[in-house]
Amino acid sequence: MPVIIEIPTAFRRFTDGQPRIDCSAVTIAEALNQLTAKFPDLGRHVRDDQGQIRQFLNVYLNDEDIRFLGGEACSIKDGDRVLLVPSIAGG
C-alpha cells in the first residue's frame, strides 16, 4: 500500500484534478519532492525560494502536524497519509 498525498481543492488545478497522489517515499521531504516533480506547477505553492515549505502551508502526517514530528525529515511508511492544508486568511 503506497503513501497517499491528499491534495486540497485549491491545489487540484495543478494535479489535473486528482484529489490523491500515491508515492513511495520514506520521508515527508521525499514525498513532497516526488509530488512537485510530477506536478512542477505545484512546486511554487509548496516551497518558497529557499526550498522551505511555504509558511502558509501546513503538512500533516496521519492527522499530526509534521512540525511536531521532526519536520520534513520525519519518516513515513506504506499506508501513511500526508495531507496538505493551505492556511486561509480572512477578515
CA distance 45 to 88: 13
pLDDT digits (tens, 9 = 90+) for 16-31: 999 999 999 999 999 9
pLDDT digits (tens, 9 = 90+) for 42-89: 999 999 999 999 999 999 999 999 999 999 999 999 999 999 999 876
> Which helix (DSSP H) or strand (DSSP E) does residue 34 occupy?
helix 28-38
Q: Which domains does the chain have, with CATH numbers?
A: 3-86 (3.10.20.30)
Residues facing residue 83 across a β-bridge: 6, 60
CA distance 69 to 89: 25
Look at residue 90 in the predicted model and tell me its pLDDT: 61
Q: Which three cell numbers stand for residue 59?
A: 503538512
